[in-house]
């Protein structure tokens, strides 16, 4: 993977699918960017983690379950910063946690994400952390579909950094 472009890896390994797909945003699309399965390849994960690491500026790294968890772990190993995994829904049993990991009030968090479309999923997670007096400075995403996530995040004062824009994959 070293030296190979992210775009080439995703295209060569069938991680861009064409057809009819419903996205997490609820939108319908004629293509799907399957970064989740690409992140299960150790060479790809290692390379992406190295490329994302310089953009991590928060005291801790956060990701939303499930798709971004491998990336969160990889970037945590690369940077030495602790990881927080945000649940989409609070657990209804056990300790009923909203997230896994430790935080201290007032910390700045940098999120990592596999794919952004409208930014809805990541904005919900950011809102949950804001309620706990944590600030999100930026989101580092592998692929931005360029369908409003950047603008939605900027409106909330959060920078979006994408390693690849969708223009290079279609």
Q: Which CATH number goes with the domain that contains 146?
A: 3.40.50.2020
- Asked if residue 144 belongs to a domain, the reply is yes
The pTM of this model reads 0.94
Pick the residue with more confidence: 169 or 80? 80
Asked if residue 147 is part of any domain, the answer here is yes
Residue 92 has a pLDDT of: 62
The first and second tokens of residue 97, run together, are 């946690």
On whether residue 67 sits in a domain, the answer given is yes
Q: Which domain holds residue 158?
A: 35-168
Residue 8 backbone phi and psi in degrees, to 5: -65, -45
Question: CA angle at residue 117 from 110 to 92, to 5 degrees?
Answer: 65
pLDDT digits (tens, 9 = 90+) for 37-79: 999 999 999 999 999 999 999 999 999 999 899 999 999 999 9
Give per-residue pLDDT as tens, 126-137: 999 999 999 999
pLDDT at 102: 93
Over the stretch 84-95, which tens digit does the pLDDT of each residue have? Answer: 999 977 656 665
Per-residue pLDDT, 90: 61
24 within some domain: no
The count of domains in the chain is 1
- Within a domain: 155: yes
Q: Does residue 9 lie in a domain region?
A: no
């Amino acid at each position: 993977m070293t030296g190979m472009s992210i775009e080439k890896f995703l295209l060569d390994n069938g991680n861009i699918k064409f057809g009819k797909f419903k996205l997490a945003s609820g939108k319908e699309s004629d293509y799907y960017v399957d970064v989740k399965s690409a992140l299960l390849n150790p060479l790809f994960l290692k390379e992406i983690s190295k490329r994302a690491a310089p953009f991590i500026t928060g005291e801790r790294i956060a990701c939303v379950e499930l798709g971004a968890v491998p990336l969160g772990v990889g970037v945590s190993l690369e940077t030495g910063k602790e990881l927080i995994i945000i649940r989409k829904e609070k657990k209804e049993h056990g300790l009923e946690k909203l997230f896994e990991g430790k935080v201290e009030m007032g910390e700045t968090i940098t999120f990592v994400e596999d794919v952004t479309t409208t930014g809805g999923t990541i904005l919900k997670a950011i809102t949950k952390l804001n309620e706990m007096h944590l600030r999100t400075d930026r989101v580092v995403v592998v692929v931005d579909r360029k369908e409003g996530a950047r603008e939605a995040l900027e409106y909330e004062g959060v920078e979006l950094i994408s390693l690849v824009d969708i223009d290079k994959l279609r």
